[in-house]
Amino acid sequence: MHNVGSELETTYEGIPASPGIAIAPVHVIARGFSSPEIYEILESDLEAEQQRFLQALEVTKRQLIELQGKLEDLSGDNESGIFEAHVMMLEDRSVVDRVLLAIATRLQNAEYAFYAVMQNFLEAMRRIPDPYLRERTSDIEDVAQRVLRNFIVDDDVRHQTPQDRHVLVAYDLAPSDTASMNRRHVLGFATEQGSVNSHTAILARAFGIPAIVGLDAAVIDIIALTPSILDGYSGKLILHPKPETLEHYRKLSLAKEKVHSALDAMRGAATETVDGRALTISANIELVDDLPLVKRSGAKGIGLYRTEFLLLNGKEMPDENHQAEVYARVVREMAPHTVIVRTLDAGGDKLPVEPLTDPEPNPFLGWRGIRVSLARPAMFKEQIRAVLRVSALGKVALMFPMISGLSEIRKSKELVRRCMDELDKEQIPFNHELPVGIMIEVPAAAICADLLAPEVDFFSIGTNDLIQYTVAADRVNPHVADLYRPTHPAVIRLIKRTIDAATNNGIWTGICGEMAGDIRLTPLLLGLGVEELSVGPQQVPRVGQAIRSLSHAACAAMADEALRHPRSQGVLDLSLSLANKHYPELLD
Asked whether 426 and 386 are in contact (CB, 8 A), the reply is no
199 is catalytic: yes
DSSP element (H, E) containing 191: strand 186-191
- Taking Cα atoms as reference points, which of 338, 337, 351, 349 lies closest to residue 383? 351
27, 86, 166, 199: which is the annotated catalytic residue? 199
The DSSP annotation for 355-416 comes to --SS--SSGGGSSBTHHHHHH-HHHHHHHHHHHHHHTTTS-EEEEE-S--SHHHHHHHHHHH
Can you state the angle between helices 568-582 and 552-564, rounded to 10 degrees?
A: 160
How far apart CA 488 and CA 391 sit, in angstroms, is 39
How far apart CA 143 and CA 375 sit, in angstroms, is 43
How far apart CA 477 and CA 475 sit, in angstroms, is 6
How far apart CA 585 and CA 580 sit, in angstroms, is 8
- Taking Cα atoms as reference points, which of 12, 38, 10, 5 lies closest to residue 190? 12
Bridge partners of 89?
A: none
The DSSP annotation for 486-544 comes to TT-HHHHHHHHHHHHHHHHTT-EEEE-SGGGG-TTSHHHHHHHT--EEEE-GGGHHHHH
- Residue 184: CB atoms within 10 A of its CB come to 9
512 is catalytic: yes
The dihedral built from the CA positions of residue 210, 212, 218 and 219, taken in this order, carries a sign that is positive
The DSSP annotation for 32-99 comes to SS------B--GGGHHHHHHHHHHHHHHHHHHHHHHHHHHHHHH-HHHHHHHHHHHHHHT-HHHHHHH
How far apart CA 248 and CA 133 sit, in angstroms, is 46
Asked whether 312 and 351 are in contact (CB, 8 A), the reply is yes
Report the greatest alpha carbon distance in the chain: 85
488, 512, 552, 555: which is the annotated catalytic residue? 512
Q: Point out the residues that are catalytic.
A: 199, 512
